[in-house]
């Protein structure tokens, strides 16, 4: 079977097919990095140019619209001239009117009618307030309004808008406006009369509307409104439409994703009151308390209802779980402990809980009728919901607030709902604002995973206390059964309870069985590859499991649960027996397939049929999700079957276009597009087919912009710290006459600085105050930093003794692994500390810190470990708070603020995860199989998408983490243990792709190899390293020859779009005029 490795980066793609074909493709990244460090799309210039053209076109259309109104005697322009300018005819160029009268009219020169000549249109606009103008003068004043119609205030406040508003006050424009009637009068008296520029101000659209009304009234036109709120005078209405009115933004409704449960329905906005109720009930149902026996118990129905109505419905924003605890303690018989984490520093529940700002505001505005409508919201839809005020229901009011702009919303509130404005203080001033406008400003952007239709079906079961996954399964049954629901309800609920119990049990049995099967497949794979002497039961389909196999089953059960949990499990024999049966069935199976588990829906349906209850349709399932890329497949409209596209010449199936609506990451999409081009070419040429095994590694920079920015910030911070450490070590080598490998000792020194505490003890148990490590790392001078670090001491996490700087680089100190690598194949910094070698090798040995005798008490071998973790706990809790507070927007936010919040969220999450992992490894009471699996699996979202896309064609697709690839580079000999990976040549991508084809795809076998490797490295056992390398590499395979061949024969393909039509030079123009510059010969040439 062929294997292909793909090393996918943001601007490069390395590929390797076994030992036959290889290559590297470089291309322009989907996002360009700017000088300031941010990323921009390569289409930015095009987009900005289009925006400018659209703006110019919109202004031109407005002028044309006004001139059509003014053609009736207000402008010296004929209809023919107007048509020649604004209507395009094929083969004929548009012509701007060039009649003498029109040009004079534009110049405010009305001498052609024996009128005046004005310096500028502003004077004409001011004159129009108190004097009657001629029709042409009136028309020219209106034409100036359409040229400068002000900025529309849409209620949002981004950074640039705030600057402009501030500048209104600083420039004197606001004070000039306060002392005059209109914008024109303020500009003339406040600026033009003083010889200052008038155009560089920031007037609002509303201020121009008031000026238009004043001018029209002064010239004898009525500005009264009719019953519809429109101008009664048709001429004034047409002027308003041409000058002031702005077309609403194009709806983005088509970009909203589809519901995961109702694929034909759009997802529900998170600002909808039904979603707030749905979210609150979900959370309430997860709350458990511990009874006197330490067992988890759910809240009773009355307590859940009280909690929802008396607490959740009154929360305007996010709040802490501590408030829920206080409420429950007040309404419960006893004070209980709950299933949410407690901050040990203040003994408080710090979990953040989402409030219900929209529901609370609706109840505040419309009273008890709104509250009752909200409590029954799932029973109605927009057509039959009860009216709460003015003939409008909760649904109607939400839709109006969601869709209307603030101006129309205020008007609607006053006229239809009789809601008067309220006075609010804003920067010391009283401002009148509509309560509906305040409600709209509380609407957060975003959408749920499910639709309103699905939410309304799920809510009734959430109200009964069911968890989300159970409520989803039950949600459709009342609609499928119809009138029989009431009579069958209790039977169905009992069946669901039994189904859930069976599902969890089967899931657990299958998980343990598949771990055993995975290990056997790893041994089989090694046998086939020639890396092992043989595998038991290989192609023996009559094999019966032995006592040794049963022992393996017992060990697998223990590893799945963990030692502590397994010892407390009562039905051990039953679990062992069921796993053994599944394991035996695997050996009898000629396909030797992994054990599959029925879904909860399938088990539920099966049990219902046993009760003679038949459902006419499919149930919801919370985890059902088809491949996102399936929509890109071709469809046979007769059968509805989906199939891959075919290459026209060979009729071979190929990969479809990788773009889908739900992934808007240009960098990832560009890389996947190049992958498609490469793979399709290889498929067409017969180099690979659907049976080819594909192994992929994706670069971290292929994440979206905000995640990428957070990762880069985190990595830069670590790089800067390492650079300071590198300088210190070089200085230390020089002054102490030591011979240290600087690169090797950077991680060692990082671990040492992590373990520095503000207060430590020397050998005589005397207290020593230390300088904070962050203060030290901020120092720039090498000598001062050296002196500070030699004066200060680090502390061994296990013994509590100090580690001096001289000891740090001696054999007295080990870089130990918190959870031994024989248990967990984890070589990350989160699993490492520096400790005294004697304690690490003789006392801790292969144990975890929790089982060290001095973990929670002082012993002769060392003081208690647990108190020393407090400093790390503070760091973890700090980063957790920073992360939690940035998970949700605190209110309306502009794009820049939103991006900054999301970037900070991911940045603090990286820090939180590091310290949380570090602490968890010290406090872990048991190590389960799932821990090891987590270390070997790439959990990036983009990795999941890449795998789904490739699975459209290939049967076997594996995704490897970059850190795992790095380890196997060293195992196979592509890179020495202490060597830094060379990135000088593009061929390193092809080398990584070659490594990917050699990494075992079987997770158990891969884990076993890594454990052997780590033990050999830890013991510095070169013989064992060589034996492992020989075992992994096929006979007669020479790694160095392969590297040389790749570097000497690999052709680097630089993929670029056709640039024949790309503009390479242009003539510089200003206001349409070519700009010239004088050359050395004194001649003027275009710039």
Per-residue pLDDT of 129-152, as tens digits, reads 999 999 999 999 999 999 888 887
DSSP string, 107-158: TTB-GGGT--B-SSHHHHHHHTTTS---HHHHHHHHHHHHHS--B---S---
Work out the average pLDDT over 53-75. 92
Mean pLDDT over the full length of the chain: 83
Residue whose C-alpha is closest to residue 962's, from 931, 992, 932: 992
**Residue 827 placed within a domain:** yes
Alpha-carbon gap, residue 919 to 850, rounded angstroms: 11
Q: How confident is the model at residue 760 (pLDDT cuts 50, 70, 90)?
A: low
CB-neighbour burial class of residue 86 (10 A; exposed 0-12, middle 13-18, buried 19+) = middle
Q: What is the pLDDT of residue 124?
A: 93
Q: Given pLDDT bands bounded at 50, 70 and 90, which one contains residue 625?
A: low
Whether 397 and 505 share a structural domain? no
Q: Are 928 and 561 in contact (CB under 8 A)?
A: yes
Neighbouring-strand partners of residue 693: 3, 956
Query: How many C-beta atoms lie closer than 10 Å to residue 937's C-beta?
Result: 14
Planar angle of CA 491, 495, 498, nearest 5 degrees: 145
Label residue 930 by pLDDT band (50, 70, 90). low
**Residue 780's pLDDT band (boundaries 50, 70, 90)?**
very low
pLDDT at 228 over 50: yes
Q: How far apart are CA 488 and CA 496, in angstroms?
A: 12
Q: CA 630 to CA 653: how far, in whole Å? A: 15
CB 922 within 8 A of CB 864: no
Percent of the chain topping pLDDT 90: 27
Kind plus residue range of the DSSP H or E element containing 439: helix 435-441
Q: Are 394 and 277 in the same domain?
A: yes
CA distances from 866 to 296, 544, 860 (A): 27, 48, 16
The number of beta carbons lying within 10 Å of the beta carbon of residue 1012 is 20
Q: Report the candidate in 161, 303, 135, 329 with the shortest Cα–Cα distance to residue 219.
A: 135
Q: What six digits make up the tokens of 828?
A: 């990350």
Structure tokens at 652: 């071979």
User: Could you say which of 935, 966, 989 is where a domain stops?
Assistant: 935
**Secondary structure class of 803 (helix, strand, coil):** strand
Q: Which residues pair with 432 in a beta bridge?
A: 423
Contacts of 145 (CB under 8 A, 6+ apart): 125, 208, 211, 212, 243
**Any idea which residue has 């980066």 for tokens?**
9
DSSP H/E element including 15: strand 12-17
**416 and 528 share one domain:** no
- 491 & 603 share domain: yes
Residue 107 confidence (pLDDT) above 80: yes
- pLDDT given for residue 197 in this prediction: 84
Position 1023 in a domain: no
Lowest mean pLDDT among 220-224, 263-267, 1060-1064: 1060-1064
Tell which wins on pLDDT, 1045 or 344.
1045
In a domain, 492, yes or no: yes
Instruction: For residues 217 and 292, state if they share a domain.
Output: no
Domain that holds residue 324: 273-475
> Could you tell me which residues are beta bridge partners of residue 794?
803
Answer yes or no: is 943 within a domain.
no
Both 437 and 509 in one domain: the answer is: no
Interhelix angle for 485-529 vs 600-610, to 10°? 130
The dihedral of CA 286, 291, 294, 300: what is its sign? negative
* pLDDT of 575: 92
Quick one: 455 and 532 in the same domain? no
Report how far residue 987's alpha carbon sits from residue 133's, in angstroms, rounded to the nearest whole number. 78
Same domain (yes/no): 744, 724:
yes
pLDDT more than 70, % of the chain: 86
Gap between the Cα atoms of 928 and 934, Å rounded: 10
Is 1056 domain-assigned? no
pLDDT at position 725: 67
Confidence of residue 983 (pLDDT cuts 50, 70, 90): low
Secondary structure (3-state) at 732: helix
Which residue shows structure tokens 């060290």? Answer: 852
pLDDT greater than 50 at residue 784: no
Residue 272: its pLDDT value, please? 95
Is residue 56 scored above 80 in pLDDT? yes
What DSSP designation does 501 have?
H
Is 70 exceeded by the pLDDT of residue 1059? no
Q: What is the pTM of this model?
A: 0.73
> Which one of 197, 223, 243 terminates a domain?
243
Residue with tokens 């060293």: 970
Longest dimension (CA), the chain: 116
Give Cα 517 to chain centroid, integer Å: 35
Average pLDDT, stretch 1063-1086?
81
Q: How many other CB atoms sit within 10 Å of the CB of residue 743?
A: 13
DSSP SS3 for 767: strand
Mean pLDDT of 126-130: 92
Q: How is residue 411 written in tokens?
A: 């008007």
Are the C-beta atoms of 141 and 150 separated by less than 8 Å?
no
Output the pLDDT for position 782: 34
Do 447 and 578 share a structural domain? no
Q: In this structure, is residue 621 part of a structural domain?
A: no
**Do 722 and 853 belong to one domain?**
yes
Asked if residue 47 is part of any domain, the answer here is no
Confidence of residue 270 (pLDDT cuts 50, 70, 90): very high
Residues 1030-1041 have pLDDT tens digits of 888 877 778 888
Determine the pLDDT at residue 48: 87
Q: Is residue 235 domain-resident? A: yes
Residue 777, pLDDT above cutoff 70: no
40, 433, 528, 714, 904 from 36: Cα distances, Å? 11, 40, 53, 17, 17
Residues near 946 by beta carbon (within 8 Å), at least 6 away in sequence? 8, 672, 675, 696, 698, 959
Mean pLDDT comparison of 242-256, 450-464, 788-802, highest-scoring range: 450-464
What local confidence, expressed as pLDDT, does residue 378 receive? 93
Report d(CA 1017, CA 1009) in Å as an integer.
Answer: 12
* Closest of 412, 376, 411 to residue 395, by C-alpha: 376
Total of domains in the chain = 4
The pLDDT of 588-616, averaged and rounded, is 86
Indicate if 773 and 913 belong to the same structural domain: yes
Q: What is the pLDDT of residue 301?
A: 93
What pairs with residue 389 in β-bridges? 392
> Do 96 and 128 lie in a common domain?
yes
pLDDT (0 to 100) of residue 360: 95
Last residue of a domain, one of 610, 630, 650: 610
Q: Give the 3-state secondary structure of residue 533.
A: coil
């Amino acid at each position: 079977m062929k294997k292909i490795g793909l090393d996918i980066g943001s601007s490069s793609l390395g590929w390797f097919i076994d030992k036959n074909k290889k290559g590297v493709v470089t291309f322009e990244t989907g996002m360009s990095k700017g000088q300031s460090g941010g990323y921009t799309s390569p289409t930015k210039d095009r987009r900005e140019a289009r925006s400018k053209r659209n703006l110019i076109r919109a202004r031109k259309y407005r002028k044309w619209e006004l001139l059509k109104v003014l053609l009736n005697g207000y402008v010296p322009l004929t209809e023919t001239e107007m048509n020649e300018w604004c209507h395009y005819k094929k083969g004929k160029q548009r012509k701007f009117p060039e009649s003498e009268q029109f040009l004079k009219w534009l110049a405010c020169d009305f001498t052609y009618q024996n009128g005046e000549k004005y310096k500028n249109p502003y004077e004409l606009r001011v004159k129009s307030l108190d004097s009657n103008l001629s029709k042409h003068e009136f028309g020219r004043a209106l034409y100036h309004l359409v040229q400068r119609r002000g900025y529309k205030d849409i209620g949002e406040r981004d950074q640039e808008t705030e600057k402009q508003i501030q500048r209104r006050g600083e420039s004197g424009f606001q004070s000039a406006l306060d002392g005059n009637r209109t914008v024109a009068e303020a500009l003339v008296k406040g600026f033009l009369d003083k010889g200052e520029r008038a155009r560089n101000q920031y007037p609002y659209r509303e201020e121009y509307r008031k000026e238009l009304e004043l001018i029209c009234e002064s010239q004898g036109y009525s500005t009264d409104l009719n019953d519809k709120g429109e101008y009664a005078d048709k001429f004034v209405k047409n002027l308003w439409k041409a000058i002031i009115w702005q077309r609403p933004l194009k709806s983005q409704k088509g970009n909203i994703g589809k519901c995961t449960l109702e694929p034909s329905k759009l997802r529900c906005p998170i600002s909808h009151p039904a979603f707030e109720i749905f979210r609150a009930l979900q959370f309430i149902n997860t709350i458990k308390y511990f009874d006197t026996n330490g067992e988890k118990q759910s809240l009773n129905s009355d307590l859940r209802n009280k909690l929802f109505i008396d607490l959740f419905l009154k929360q305007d924003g996010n709040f802490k779980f501590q408030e829920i605890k206080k409420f429950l303690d007040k309404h419960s018989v006893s004070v209980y402990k709950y299933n949410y984490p407690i901050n040990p520093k203040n003994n408080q529940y710090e979990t953040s809980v989402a409030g219900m700002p929209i529901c609370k505001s609706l109840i505040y505005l419309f009273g008890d009728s709104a509250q009752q409508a909200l409590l029954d919201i799932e029973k109605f839809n927009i057509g039959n919901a009860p009216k709460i005020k003015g003939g409008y229901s909760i649904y109607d009011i939400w839709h109006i607030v969601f869709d209307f702009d603030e101006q129309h919303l205020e008007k609607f509130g006053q006229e239809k709902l009789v809601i008067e404005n309220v006075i609010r203080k804003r920067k010391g001033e009283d401002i009148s604002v509509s309560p509906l406008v305040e409600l709209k400003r509380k609407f957060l952007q975003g959408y749920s995973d499910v639709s309103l239709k699905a939410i309304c079906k799920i809510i009734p079961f959430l109200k009964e206390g069911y968890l989300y996954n159970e409520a989803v399964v039950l949600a459709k049954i009342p609609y499928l059964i119809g009138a029989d629901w009431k009579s069958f309800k209790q039977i169905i609920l009992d069946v669901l309870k039994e189904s859930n119990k069976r599902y969890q049990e089967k899931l657990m049995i299958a998980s343990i069985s598949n771990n055993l099967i995975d290990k056997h497949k790893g041994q089989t794979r090694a046998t086939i590859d020639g890396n092992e002497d043989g595998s038991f039961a290989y192609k023996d389909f009559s094999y019966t499991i032995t006592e040794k196999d049963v022992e393996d089953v017992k060990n697998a059960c223990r590893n799945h649960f963990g030692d502590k949990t397994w010892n407390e499990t009562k039905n051990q024999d039953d679990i062992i027996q069921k796993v053994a049966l599944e394991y035996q069935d695997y050996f009898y199976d000629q396909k030797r397939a992994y054990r599959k588990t029925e879904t909860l829906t399938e088990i539920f349906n099966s049990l219902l049929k046993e009760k003679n209850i038949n459902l006419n349709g499919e149930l919801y399932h919370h985890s059902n999700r088809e491949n996102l890329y399936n929509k890109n497949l071709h469809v046979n409209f007769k059968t509805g079957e989906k199939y891959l596209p075919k290459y026209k010449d060979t009729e071979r199936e190929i990969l479809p276009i990788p773009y889908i609506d739900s992934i808007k990451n240009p960098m990832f999409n560009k890389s996947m597009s190049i992958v498609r081009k490469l793979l399709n070419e290889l498929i067409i040429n017969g180099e690979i087919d659907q049976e080819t095994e594909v192994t992929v590694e994706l670069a971290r920079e292929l994440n979206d912009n905000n995640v990428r920015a957070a990762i880069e910030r985190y990595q830069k911070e670590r790089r800067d710290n390492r650079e300071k450490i590198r300088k210190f070590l070089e200085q230390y080598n020089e002054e102490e006459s030591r011979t240290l490998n600087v690169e090797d000792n950077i991680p060692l020194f990082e671990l040492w600085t992590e373990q520095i505490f503000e207060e430590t003890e020397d050998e005589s148990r005397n207290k020593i105050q230390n300088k904070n490590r962050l203060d030290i790392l901020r120092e720039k001078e090498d000598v001062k930093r050296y002196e500070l670090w030699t004066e200060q001491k680090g502390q061994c996490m296990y013994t509590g003794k100090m580690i001096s700087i001289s000891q740090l680089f001696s054999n007295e100190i080990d870089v130990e692994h918190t959870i031994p690598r024989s248990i967990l194949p984890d070589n990350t910094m989160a699993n490492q500390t520096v400790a005294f070698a004697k304690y690490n090798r003789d006392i801790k040995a292969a144990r975890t810190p929790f089982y060290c005798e001095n973990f929670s008490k002082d012993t002769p071998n060392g003081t208690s470990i647990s108190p020393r973790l407090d400093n790390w706990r503070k760091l973890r809790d700090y980063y957790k708070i920073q992360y939690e507070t940035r998970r949700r927007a605190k209110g309306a936010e502009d794009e820049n603020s939103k991006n900054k919040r999301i970037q900070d969220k991911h940045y603090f999450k990286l820090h939180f995860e590091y310290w949380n992992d570090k602490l968890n490894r010290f406090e872990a009471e048991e190590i389960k199989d799932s821990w090891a699996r987590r270390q070997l699996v790439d959990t990036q979202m983009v990795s999941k998408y890449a795998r789904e896309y490739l699975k459209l064609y290939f049967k076997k697709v594996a995704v490897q983490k970059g850190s795992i690839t790095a380890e196997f580079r060293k195992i196979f000999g592509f890179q020495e243990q202490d060597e830094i990976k060379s990135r000088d040549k593009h061929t390193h991508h092809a080398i990584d792709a070659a490594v990917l084809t050699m990494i075992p795809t079987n997770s158990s076998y891969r884990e076993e190899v890594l454990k052997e490797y780590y033990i050999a490295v830890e013991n510095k056992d070169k013989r064992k390293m060589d034996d492992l390398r020989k075992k992994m590499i096929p006979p007669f395979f020479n790694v160095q020859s392969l590297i040389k061949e790749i570097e000497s024969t690999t052709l680097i393909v630089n993929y670029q779009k056709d640039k024949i039509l790309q503009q390479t030079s242009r003539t510089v123009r200003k206001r349409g005029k070519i700009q010239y510059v004088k050359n050395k010969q004194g001649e003027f040439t275009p710039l």
